[in-house]
Amino acid sequence: FSRVHSTIGSFTGLQWLPEEHVDGGYILSNLVRREPKRNIRVWMSDGLNDIEVDSNGRQDLYVAGSWPLNNIQMANALKTRGYDFHFRYGVATHSSAQGSMDLPESLSWLWRGYDPEKTDENYEQEEVERSKPIFRVQIANRDAW
């Protein structure tokens, strides 16, 4: 495959089974940073209201990690490695609403420049994205010190 469409990506420790030497999705952003760059184009979207469960919520989700933070970490890994990617970060929850709203734009973006006569295509990060800083997190629900 050469194009990836990810909405509310579960780059968390959901399937993490250390006793069986099985890594969870949280390792993927680190693999993007460490492994050789692949020739793919990636559209990601997530929202600040995605799953962030406290200790009173479902224990299996609480221990898995933060969906918003892990999506930001994946976007930063793609950015720093020079991938052709787009990250839409809105206010969405863990539902298909934002991904559905973005679908026409995301498919147009992923398939831009497609030529059925070509047998291959080289994906490079756009200059507009290259000139932007990496994503940063701002704590909005705590009192400032």
Domain membership of residue 138 (yes or no) is no
Alpha helices, H only, the chain: 28-34, 59-62, 67-80, 97-110, 127-130
pLDDT at 102 over 80: yes
More confident residue, 127 or 97: 127
Phi-psi region for residue 138, left (φ > 0), alpha (ψ -120 to 50) or beta? beta
What are 110-120's pLDDT values in tens digits? 999 999 998 88
Domain membership of residue 135 (yes or no) is no
Instruction: Give me the domain span that covers residue 7.
Output: 3-130
Domain membership of residue 141 (yes or no) is no
| Burial zone of 128 (CB within 10 Å; 0-12 exposed, 13-18 middle, 19+ buried) | exposed
Q: How many domains does the chain have?
A: 1
Domain membership of residue 71 (yes or no) is yes
User: Rg of the Cα trace of the chain?
Assistant: 17
Q: How far, in Å, are 27, 48, 69, 74 from residue 100 at the CA level?
A: 27, 17, 21, 21
Domain membership of residue 84 (yes or no) is yes
Question: Looking at residues 122-126, what average pLDDT do you find?
Answer: 95
Domain membership of residue 21 (yes or no) is yes
pLDDT at 56 over 70: no
What are 57-70's pLDDT values in tens digits? 666 666 778 889 99
